[in-house]
Amino acid sequence: MAPAPAPLTSRPQWQALTELQRSLATCHMRDLFGQDPDRAQRFFAEGAGLSLDFSKNRITDEVLSALMALARACDLPGRTEAMFLGEPVNETEKRPALHTALRNTGADPVLVDGRDVMPEVQQTLARMDTFTRDVITGHRSGFTGKRFTDVVSIGIGGSYLGPRLVSEALLPYHHGQLRGHFVANIDGSDITEVLNRVNPETTLFLVQSKSFRTQETLENSRVARDWFLANGGAERDIAGHFVAVTANASEAGRFGIRTENVFPMWDWVGGRYSLWSAIGLPIALLVGMDQFRALLAGAHDMDLHFRHTPLERNLPVLMAMLGVWYSNFWGADTHAILPYDHYLESLPSHLQQLDMESNGKCVTRDGRTISYQTGPVIWGGVGANGQHAYHQLLHQGTRLIPADFIIPLRSHNPVGEHHASLFANCLSQTRALMAGKTEAEALEELAAEGMSAGEAAELAPHKVIPGNKPSNTLVMDKLTPHTLGALIALYEHRTFVQGVIWDVDSFDQWGVELGKQMGKEILDQILGNNPERSQADASTEHLIGLFRSKRP
């Protein structure tokens, strides 16, 4: 067996970054801006309709150069080409990761095991086009002949978060013929609240599941089918009201969904990377196929940018390597996603799965235990709301939390000076995080308000804002299908780059299997299917007892 490659932390490029962090430990970004009037222009990059200001980071030219040297030492260019070319970059499952093929609007073939997959990708898009057109025009209607008014998408994880994010983010592009609903949770309240709001005669159900074995999705789909049959629908009508998107057509058939109502998925697309596939059917139904194709085109433009732009000007690479800089050299445990756009409220949730299910790993691709930090906790929320919730901790807390601020230059809803105010809020936060407020500035401010020197001296320490808190600002002209596609693809590639540096398999998710297995065992015990005591711990046993004591 070939000797294991040198651990990441023993690479000279890693050592260089360790030294650079030490040299910058007491440096404040205020000084970096003061020393270099061109800083904002130099640390600014553009691609696929997005613009990145990364000047409010604890970096110098030397740091940036060292980060890119680490990326090259980890063979990032080679690993990137391997992904685009369909090599089995998902090594533990021996599969390619070809979400890029789903939006490959170019003419290039993409080979999987020597076979060009683009014809079936194009064929599926054509089927989606026909299907969505038939539903939207009323050519395809419900069992009483009425047009569909509601689409209920049943799925979880990547079969839910991506479609929901994009459907919400593109609300200004909805044609208005259909209302979209998303059901994910096994909590009965989720599906009950949706079924209470729709009419079986005019509701189309999409069962979205790559495996068609996900308990939450199957249970919810059974409830939907029973509800449909109990409210006027007949077995013969199931075909007209239930459609599946899955890589497991046989299981969909056993559920009662005919082959002609199954849209395919492929095992070379991961769930959290699948909104570009037929899993995006809810999106296409709500905004129309032309807008869905514009979304794909935006992602494809970001693919071209990522694949062909020098690392130093490459948006996914810059954002990824800055994340490595803070995670591995400054001890940052989390990363905040702060979209200053009402329509992007669900972006942090989608990026949580994308990033944390991809890089929340503790062994390398070849199974060696990792001694350094890997994927951070991804969290966030929409701005400016967060300023009245958790920004206090960002400004005066003890933790270093790098943040991505995302904002369009133009709003879909130009109400008064709202957008100017939103933009000013966004910039005020990144500026305050960077510059902060010194004690001298606080004292001067309090004196100007007429406070006595003694009172001011008492209060000033509480008004000091340390600053030196890093942020990126991502700007786009307007939130459109194209810029949204580019934005999501940007984060997909950011996640990939970090996985390359940390040497993890970013495309498997073995960590979720144990919970699923234990869930089945505990459910069986709760339902009395296996009366002998489980091997569970005393806490779990006690809580099972509490639950069973309340069962009717």
Separation of CA 354 from chain center: 4
Residue list 192-211, contact with ligand F6P (CB under 6 A) = 209-211
517 binds ligand F6P per the rule CB under 6 A: no
Report yes or no: 239 and 221 within 8 Å, Cβ to Cβ. no
Distance CA 185, CA 514 (A): 19
Give the torsion sign (CA, 58, 62, 64, 67). Answer: negative
The site that binds ligand F6P (CB under 6 A) totals a number of residues, namely 14
Q: Active-site residue among 94, 260, 388, 513? A: 388
For strands 334-339 and 377-380, give the pairing. parallel
Which lies closer to ligand F6P via its Cβ, residue 20 or residue 206? 206
**Annotated catalytic residue 449:** no
Interface pick for ligand F6P out of 49, 157, 280, 288 (rule CB under 6 A): 157
What H or E segment, with its residue span, contains residue 426?
Answer: helix 418-435
Q: Active-site residue among 168, 201, 216, 357? A: 357
Report yes or no: 483 and 476 within 8 Å, Cβ to Cβ. yes
Distance CA 64, CA 312 (A): 8
Binding mask 211-230 for ligand F6P (x = CB under 6 A): x--x--x-------------
Distance CA 3, CA 6 (A): 9
Which lies closer to ligand F6P via its Cβ, residue 271 or residue 386? 271
Distance CA 264, CA 251 (A): 12
Q: Which stretch binds ligand F6P (CB under 6 A): 155-163, 189-197, 225-233, 425-433?
A: 155-163
Interface pick for ligand F6P out of 121, 156, 204, 243 (rule CB under 6 A): 156
Binding mask 454-493 for ligand F6P (x = CB under 6 A): ----------------------------------------
Q: Active-site residue among 139, 175, 516, 520? A: 516
Which lies closer to ligand F6P via its Cβ, residue 57 or residue 346? 346
CB of 496 vs ligand F6P, minimal distance in Å = 16
Which lies closer to ligand F6P via its Cβ, residue 100 or residue 217? 217
Which lies closer to ligand F6P via its Cβ, residue 159 or residue 525? 159
Tokens of 20: 């650079």
Q: What is the rounded (10 degree) CA torsion for 324, 325, 330, 334?
A: -40
Tokens of 38: 């061109």
Give every CB contact of residue 114 below 8 A, 6+ residues apart in sequence. none
Which lies closer to ligand F6P via its Cβ, residue 104 or residue 214? 214
Q: What stretches of 231-360 show up as alpha helix (H) in DSSP?
A: 235-241, 249-255, 281-287, 289-308, 315-329, 347-359
Interface pick for ligand F6P out of 21, 104, 159, 483 (rule CB under 6 A): 159
Report yes or no: 456 and 446 within 8 Å, Cβ to Cβ. yes
Residue list 344-363, contact with ligand F6P (CB under 6 A) = 357
Which lies closer to ligand F6P via its Cβ, residue 178 or residue 269? 269
271 binds ligand F6P per the rule CB under 6 A: yes
Q: What are phi and psi of 508, to 5 degrees?
A: -110, 175
509 binds ligand F6P per the rule CB under 6 A: yes
Which lies closer to ligand F6P via its Cβ, residue 301 or residue 355? 355
How far apart, in Å, are the Cα atoms of 493 and each of 100, 218, 300? 10, 31, 12
Q: What are phi and psi of 413, to 5 degrees?
A: -130, 80
**Annotated catalytic residue 210:** no
CB of 469 vs ligand F6P, minimal distance in Å = 32
Q: Residue 528: is it exposed, middle or buried by C-beta count within 10 angstroms (0-12/13-18/19+)?
A: exposed
Q: Which stretch binds ligand F6P (CB under 6 A): 64-72, 150-158, 448-456, 499-507?
A: 150-158
**Annotated catalytic residue 388:** yes
Q: Provide the b/e sequence for 271-297 (b: ≥16 CB within 10 Å).
A: bbbbbbbbbbbbbbbbbbbebbbbbbb
Q: Which residues are tagged catalytic? A: 357, 388, 516
Interface with ligand F6P (CB under 6 A): 156-159, 209-211, 214, 217, 271-272, 357, 509, 512
